[in-house]
Structure 1
Amino acid sequence: MRQQRYQAPPVDAYLPGQWPGDARPSVTGLDPEAIGASWLAQFAIGCRLPDVYYRRAPFEGTVTWWFFDTAVTSWATVDSVPGAGSFDVRQSGPRRLWDEIHTAWGDWDKAGQPGYERFGLTATGAGERTVWLDDPHHRWSPLTG
């Protein structure tokens, strides 16, 4: 049953040269630990961004969250420091993965942080699957293709 799982390439496959490569720095007010602490948030964001995965790397009181796309074109990191009000972000590649995650979080939050019972799935005989919120006409997935 594990063969269907995505086999993630090493971080070096994403990073062009030495750290931080060509990454653009920025700051966010959203702590990625808030996402990691909520299965609902992870579900809602995962439905929006099914081609994005993460790795969580704790080190000496800080947790660096690494986000990657499965196309091996884009990555982002966010450093979570307990008690901080802002968090350092670095993003590289054609997609701004943290911005996409932040948007998906914001949409879920604006919808009232809905639980699993408000989500539905429509599957067709042609293999198409659509996740929706509250009503099949309120498509929830995905933000990107």
Structure 2
Amino acid sequence: MKTFAFLFFLHLINFSAFCQNPLNTKGESQEIIDLISSYSKARETKDTVLLKEILIEDVDQLVSSGVWRKGLAEAVQGMMESSTSNPGDRTLKVESIRFLDPDAAIVDARYEIKNGDGTVRKMWSTFVVVTETGQWKISAIRNMLPAGD
């Protein structure tokens, strides 16, 4: 009985080792970095068509002022209004990607807005990204102002 249990245990180890897909492939990471870059570009150029391509239908966003934007239409409208009322050069730099499974990841990025007067607003953005019809898309966005320095 011990031999059977041992062989069964070895079989499980081998089976699980060969059946798991790696969650953090270089290609997937680059696709996600490109997605965040596309989001930044769409915000900068006020490209609503691109935004609608890279956000899922039930996207939600919590902005640094505490306002929630729920759903694609509300999110896109709020993004366009924010880009107009808060002009400046926006940059997003991906710092980390944490894959939750092959179709979902959490992306942390430094988010800076350089204002016309030269001041820089430094924040963090966290994105939840998912695959939809074989393409990485943004499911949720959380913008945060760091406390302290």
TM-score, structure 1 normalization? 0.29
More helix by share: 2
